[in-house]
Amino acid sequence: MEPLERYRPIIDDFEAFLEACDRPLGNAVRVNTIKASVDRALETLDEGGLAYEQAEWNPRVLRLETDSPGSTWTSFHGLTHGQEEVSAVPPVVLDPQPGERVWDCCAAPGGKATQIAALMDDRGTVVANDSNLGRISALRFNAERLGATSLAVTNRDARNYSLNPFPFDEFDRALVDAPCSCEGTIRKNPDALENWSEDHIQSVAGIQKGVLRRAIQATREGGTVVYSTCTFAPEENEAVVQHALENEPCRVVDFDLGLDYSPGRTAWNDETFDASLDRTARIYPHQNDTGGFFVAKLEVTA
């Protein structure tokens, strides 16, 4: 927990935060509405004798009382998908609409990409990209299991992504769920901080900036880009969004969440960020008994 001490000055009720980080994370699933309505999925879980609790902020998200959410009947047949509760937030903030063209820049293993397809009623185009070839098989498997026929899977570096050979030259929306230092996953991955270092944070921040800039460039004027990470580091969160504001035509916009969260930082150490960064969201483990996440919503302005 020692690396997390650097956040003591910016987190309210820091002791509750540390205590939550030290507790194991429960299991959650997302109802896959491509294959089943929420009511049908709940009925199937009831028939199987599986206890669950619907998330107040999103009826499609269930806290499931089982140690193996991926081994249930509903998961095997694609009615549900094991996905951490807070991980379902970015696609909801993205708010994709049926018929749109959406880019998930860092999509594997496919939880958010297939959620985007479901939110679009599987109508439109979801380009699910990942630079890691080894993770593409999991992405394809999940797309097939969940029946997401609107997905097109690609294996490229998102920082210099080309839309060839797609028959369009810009997206309506893009999700950058960026590779990060994963501090916010400590409840499910107790070893997440084992190789932590500030050098690593700076290294991944460079990649994040490149991916976010390309996502903005590839999205139409008036389109939406959502940037998210599962870490607490301002260097990977607000500083990355600040870099985009300074180098690309975009602005931070408001969004509503049914979850408790803290506003984004407008300063960190000796660095000052644009005042609009307080419109971003920091979700801490002790606020909703979840993992940790950061989410920012941007509008492309030109």
The catalytic residue positions are 230
Report pLDDT digits (tens) over 188-202.
999 999 989 999 999
189-225 exposure pattern, b = at least 16 Cβ within 10 A, e = fewer: eeebbeebeeeebeebbebbbbbbbbbbebbeeebbb
Phi, psi of 85 (to 5 degrees): -55, -50
In the chain, pLDDT over 90 holds for what percent of residues? 96
Maximum Cα–Cα distance across the chain = 57
Q: Name the residue ranges covered by the structural domains of the chain.
A: 2-23+86-300, 26-83
Q: Which CATH superfamily is domain 26-83 in?
A: Sun protein; domain 3 (3.30.70.1170)
Phi, psi of 141 (to 5 degrees): -60, -45
pLDDT the model gives residue 2: 87
Beta carbons of 297 and 273 less than 8 angstroms apart: no
In the chain, pLDDT over 70 holds for what percent of residues? 100
Stretch 16-44: mean pLDDT: 97
CA distance 104 to 131: 12
CA angle 244, 202, 275 (to 5 degrees): 40
Stretch 54-79: mean pLDDT: 94
Evaluate if pTM is beyond 0.75. yes
Report pLDDT digits (tens) over 257-291.
999 999 999 999 999 999 999 999 999 999 999 99
Ranges 90-94, 164-168, 192-196, most confident? 90-94
Mean pLDDT, rounded, of the chain: 96
Beta carbons of 112 and 104 less than 8 angstroms apart: yes
CA distance 254 to 274: 14
Q: Is there a common fold for 2-23+86-300 and 26-83?
A: no
CA distance 115 to 28: 14
CA distance 284 to 291: 7
Q: Which CATH superfamily is domain 2-23+86-300 in?
A: Vaccinia Virus protein VP39 (3.40.50.150)
